[in-house]
Amino acid sequence: MIHADYVNYEVETRGKFAEEITPDRKEGSLEDPLIAFVSIEENDENSGTESGDLVEKAFREIRKVASKIKVRNVALFPFAHLSESLSSPDFAVSVLKDLEDRFKKSKFNSFRAPFGWYKEFEFRSKGHPLSILSRTVRLN
């Protein structure tokens, strides 16, 4: 996760497993966001646990950091490069959509960058001790 002054993205090229998007999702931006780069893994899908448990645990981890740095803006970026053992694209999109919904229901200003698209993105990270962090969410 990265606390940034801003983040902007614009979709460029459709990937092999790209989700369908509407024109308003082709770009997005937030000021003073916590950017969460998210990868959904095969173990998450095959854990035998409901995906809602994974969503809730991920939400709590991200919210905890957002609370510590006092931000209400969260940008969720699907980022397959964090894992060598990815879940199926359908499962990943489902979890990411549910995570986005969870933040919106909690009154966060947020966006989820589209899954499966090559994107141009730009951000400027802040330089405080909590500005760059890593978290791993495991169900078991």
130 in any annotated domain: no
Give me the number of domains the chain comprises. Answer: 1
19 in any annotated domain: yes
Q: How far apart are CA 62 and CA 100, in angstroms?
A: 12
- Single out the residue of 62, 46, 55 nearest to residue 2, CA to CA: 62
What's the predicted TM-score (pTM) here? 0.94
**88-116: pLDDT as tens digits:** 999 999 999 999 999 999 999 999 999 99
134 in any annotated domain: no
Containing domain of residue 98, as a range? 2-23+35-125
30 in any annotated domain: no
**33-90: pLDDT as tens digits:** 999 999 999 999 988 777 889 999 999 999 999 999 999 999 999 999 999 999 999 9
CB atoms under 10 Å from CB of 112, counted, come to 22
131 in any annotated domain: no
CB atoms under 10 Å from CB of 117, counted, come to 20
CATH of the domain at 97: 3.50.80.10
28 in any annotated domain: no
CB atoms under 10 Å from CB of 106, counted, come to 13
